[in-house]
Structure 1
Amino acid sequence: MSRSSGSYSTSDLSRKSGDIIAEALRHPVTITQRNKPRLVLLNIDDYERLMRQSDTRSAGTLETMSREMLDEFEAAVDAYAESEEVSR
């Protein structure tokens, strides 16, 4: 995906939609409103690639955490507490 993208206003989008869509098929295009970036148009391949790379972290509770993860968490909390005591 190209880092350099065209930029158009929302009024450009209504006047030049065909040209803007054609450009968005080649690389992401920013749509601005009142001179602020508001939207990005990108082709489906780039969109799907972004979705595959998206953050897959999930939230849980101490009850659902694996023993190994809980041990790591407790060690991190202990290490943080010790570093706070040393800095006082």
Structure 2
Amino acid sequence: MPHTGGSYSTSDLSRKSGDIIAEALRHPVTITQRNKPRLVLLNIDDYERLMRQSDARSVGTLKTMPSELLDEFEAAVDAYAGTDEPNR
């Protein structure tokens, strides 16, 4: 039953869901619709690992930036603004 690359169509999913789920427990499986990837099935451990990794990444703002980094940033902006580059 193995498909090359762990990719199945939506009709495969309806016909062979048990086998596809068993494979998804071992590694991520792509579900295609009209020959385009639409979904990925993956085990809960992989999902939770991805969520932890995404939580570890945070968006910084000027308000949350450490003051020494903000000082460096402002100095760099001031230096850039003081240059006379015609193609900026």
Please indicate, yes or no, whether the TM-score normalized by the shorter chain is above 0.5: yes
- 1:22 deviates by 0.4
Residue aligning to 2:16: 16
Q: Unpaired runs of 5+ in structure 2? A: none
1:9 corresponds to which letter in structure 2? S
Alpha-carbon separation, structure 2, partners of 1:5 and 1:47? 19
Q: Unpaired runs of 5+ in structure 1? A: none
Change (3 A) 1:24 1:79: farther
Alpha-carbon separation, structure 2, partners of 1:23 and 1:44? 13
What does residue range 1-88 of structure 1 map to in structure 2 within 5 Å?
Answer: 5-54=5-54, 56-60=57-61, 62-63=62-63, 65-81=65-81, 85=84
Alpha-carbon separation, structure 2, partners of 1:58 and 1:39? 27
Q: Deviations over 1:55-87 (max 9, x none)?
A: 522243x4554422321321332454467x457
For this pair of structures, how many residues does the alignment match?
83
Alpha-carbon separation, structure 2, partners of 1:80 and 1:26? 52
**TM-score in terms of structure 2 length:** 0.73
- Asked if structure 2 preserves the Cα contact closer than 8 Å seen for 1:10 and 1:31, the reply is yes
Task: Give the superposed CA RMSD.
Answer: 2.5
Q: Secondary structure at the match of 2:50?
A: helix
